[in-house]
Amino acid sequence: MFDAILMMGGLGLIIGAALALASRIFYVYVDPKVLEIDDLLPGANCGGCGYPGCSANAEAIVAGQSPPDSCVAGGAELAEAIAAVMGMSIEAKEPDIALPGCTYGTGEAEIKYDYQGLSDCQAAALLYGGMKVCHIGCLGLGSCMRACPFSAISMGENGLPVVDEQRCTGCGTCERVCPKHIIKLSSVTRRILKEYTMDDCTTPCQRQCPAGINISGYIEQISAGNYSKAVQIIKERNPFPAVIGRICPRPCETVCRRNLVDEPVAINFLKRYAADYEMKNNQRSRPYTAPATGRKTAIVGGGVEGLSAAFFSARLGHSPTVYEATDKAGGLLRKAIAEYRLPRDILEWDIAGVEDMGVKIRTNMTMGEDFSLASLLADGNEAVLLASGGWDSRLGRSPKPRPEEPVPGVFLLIDLLRSGLDNRFKFPIPGDVVIAGAGGSAEQSVRICRHMGAENISVLFRSAPDKAVLTDEQISAMENMGATLVFSAAISRLEGEEDRLEKVEYEDLENGGTRQIAADSLFIDAGRIPEIIFRRITREQEESGGGLEAEQEGQDNAPVRWEGIQPYKNPAYSEERGLLARGDPVTDYSAAIRAIAGGRRSAASIHKIMYDLDLDLPENVISEDSVIQTVASVQGVETSGRNIMSACEPEDVPHKCPEVELGFSGQQAKAEADRCLRCGVICYAAGSASCEVDEPQSKAGAL
């Protein structure tokens, strides 16, 4: 008996020692934060966070790969608790919601294909390509419905997914399983940041509109008599509906598919009707906004672009202030357009709409005189957008345009040439001078700078040496004057401190490399200082290569170091790089609707820069060169003439009529809205029209 007990005890000691040794060998350290966060998570293991279970999400949160609010099954309190564990704070975040992006379902498609045996969208897309003629249409087999972990999606009678907004958590599972990107997460922020891609079901008029307005959407609301909703849709992409309804060059109407039948829909007149209805009833329609972020931004320039940038920045939840040099905002809308085309009360109404979004406008404030870039950044603005306009805008500010220095050390080359060898405008030339974009005037510019005592002169040309608009004699003359000529170079970044420019960074367009050169003065060969977004940087960021979120603690009394970055390009020129690229405006925008589009892109760029998001556009973004599916003809549509807007006799303007064009009546607006074919890429509602697919495919319009 004793021997048995002794044997069992010895065996226990051996096993214990073996287990102790194994625990040391196979020990896996678990971060206490992971355990604490895992305990906080609900344990639903729904996969809505994108990870296979709550434990995996906890590890991702601690590793910085997933945000504290990534759990879609939890609420704001859970996000705050997780952030507290991580020693972080979180901003209010607007909810995402799944949104189908297809116009008509398979039940309404004129032409269908019958699949045998397949009931999964991904399999059908791989094997057959689709269920309808439309190459990007919804397949309608319900994979998103089955994948949704919260039963928030059902399939409607028309074969399209229907989202229950109360159940949808914005987890994105449906978006991940959809093979054609039909159903996607949507929010105010996502819609403002969005550039249309080849995956989106966009109409020809929407693609041709520089601002990308959902034209068929607001026309449908006008047809139904929902004018406030129509204006709300317009303001998703255009903060000046009443103004643009009067002065737009209407590129959208050139591609309207009614051109294949009779005459285009009066798209812009309908926009004006809805906007005028809103104004006459004094019931302003406000587009949706994201929750307040508490982040301040400054926009220099109260023209169309600056006001639009402020409008969209406010909708993104930020607090923008516009600084305008004249006594009233409006820019060229106020200075260059006759009142009989654009009555000033119309302009004031739309500007008041921008202010109604929370935008502050400060007039009689000139950058470089009443305030500086450094003072704006020191005042707590996380970003400063320069949207001061071009030579045209400067004429509106002063009858005798004088040189301006909105950015420290940055001037227009035309002012240097006007200043001449005697430097009558007193440019601070001695030191390091960079001349960007100069063509035939390069030699004269170098001569003036050298005469005024410049120590080092660098001339940057975007073109290659064999394509530069220079003679061998001009090149030799500049080199003999000591100038350094750099070809295939595009300015990508500015850097300075307080009221001094210090560096210019340029990109080699041949190999993509970048280089910095010293610069006390930069002269740009264009009619405007390009749009640039400035932010504050620290010495630590500069030494480490920079980061997009500056540490403000302990900087209140430190010198303000800043850098300037260009907003992302117009999608039509998404492949271009650097300042003064092809497609960049070299003076004021050619149309207000294009300036509005530029303002939205600038606001989107500010948002991305503040949150360290990539400025690059999607690879499949729609541009003028995109080849998309379209139609060659439309049948089954009864012809109907375009409604003509009433006009005042010229001799009665402005005594009897405040403007020449008087607008649509309600009856005209209804009749004209009903002419819209409600088309998608190639699809139409059953019974309203049929079409013949155009082969080969054609190019998209300009966005």
pLDDT value, residue 589: 92
pLDDT bucket at 553, cuts 50 / 70 / 90 = very low
Supply the pTM of this predicted model. 0.86
Q: Residue 555 above 60 pLDDT?
A: no
Confidence of residue 224 (pLDDT cuts 50, 70, 90): very high
The closest of 205, 201, 191, 304 to 247, measured between CA atoms, is: 304
pLDDT at 5: 61
pLDDT band at 111 (very low <50, low <70, confident <90, very high): very low
Angular region, 57: left φ>0, alpha ψ -120 to 50, beta rest: alpha
Q: What is the pLDDT of residue 627?
A: 79
Q: Is 574 a member of any domain?
A: no
Phi and psi at 222, nearest 5°, equal: -65, -40
Q: Residue 411 CB: number of other CB atoms within 10 A?
A: 21
With a pLDDT cut of 90, the percent of the chain lying above it is 55
Contacts 24+ apart (CB under 8 A), 147-154: 147/173, 147/174, 147/176, 147/177, 148/173, 148/174, 149/46, 149/47, 149/48, 149/173, 150/46, 150/48, 152/98, 153/98, 153/183
Is the confidence at residue 343, as pLDDT, over 90?
A: yes
- Tell whether the model's pLDDT for residue 554 goes beyond 80: no
Number of CB atoms found within 10 A of residue 535's CB? 21
Q: Contact 312/399 with Cβ under 8 angstroms?
A: no
Model confidence at 689: pLDDT above 60: no
388-392, 592-596, 690-694: which is most confident: 592-596
- The pair of structure tokens assigned to 132 is 């309808």
The winner for highest mean pLDDT among 151-165, 207-221, 533-547 is 207-221
Same domain, 280 and 221: yes
pLDDT at 386: 96
pLDDT above 90: residue 148: yes
* Mean pLDDT for all residues in the chain: 85
Do 95 and 160 contact (CB within 8 A), yes or no?
A: no
What average pLDDT does the segment 455-476 reach? 91
2 lies in the same domain as 21: yes
Query: Which CATH number is 101's domain given?
Result: 3.30.70.20
Higher pLDDT, 495 or 40: 495
Residue 569 domain flag: no
| Same domain, yes or no: 643 and 694 | yes
- What per-residue confidence (pLDDT) applies to 687? 46
H or E element at residue 308: helix 304-315
Q: What are phi and psi of 503, to 5 degrees?
A: -140, 150
CATH number of 242's domain: 1.10.1060
Closest CA to 566 of 605, 539, 622: 605
Taking the CA atoms of 145, 149, 150 and 151 in sequence, report the sign of the dihedral they define. Answer: positive
Residue 688 lies in a domain: yes
Residue 147: pLDDT band by 50, 70, 90 thresholds? very high
131: pLDDT strictly greater than 50:
no
Question: Does residue 234 fall inside a structural domain?
Answer: yes
Q: Which residue has the tokens 């209407």?
A: 250
Question: What local confidence, expressed as pLDDT, does residue 593 receive?
Answer: 97
pLDDT value at residue 199: 84
- Is 99 a residue whose pLDDT tops 50? yes
Answer whether residue 388 is part of any domain.
no
Per DSSP, 367 falls in state B
Q: Which pLDDT belongs to residue 489?
A: 95
Q: Which residue has the higher pLDDT, 596 or 543?
A: 596
Report pLDDT digits (tens) over 610-655.
999 999 998 889 887 787 777 778 878 889 999 999 998 888 887 8
How many domains are there within the chain?
A: 4
CA distance 454 to 446: 9
Task: Give the β-pairing of 161-163 and 183-186.
Answer: unpaired
Q: What's the whole-number mean pLDDT along residues 353-372?
A: 95
pLDDT score of 211 more than 80: yes
The reply to whether 227 falls in a domain is yes
Angle, helices 666-673 vs 215-223, to 10°: value is 130
Q: Which domain holds residue 629?
A: 204-286+624-699
Q: Which residue's entry shows tokens 């516009």?
A: 322
- What's the whole-number mean pLDDT along residues 255-260? 92
CATH of the domain at 48: 1.10.15.40
Alpha-carbon torsion 413, 389, 401, 496, what sign?
negative
Domain boundary among 49, 75, 90: 90
User: Could you identify the residue written with the tokens 């008599």?
Assistant: 225
In a domain, 7, yes or no: yes
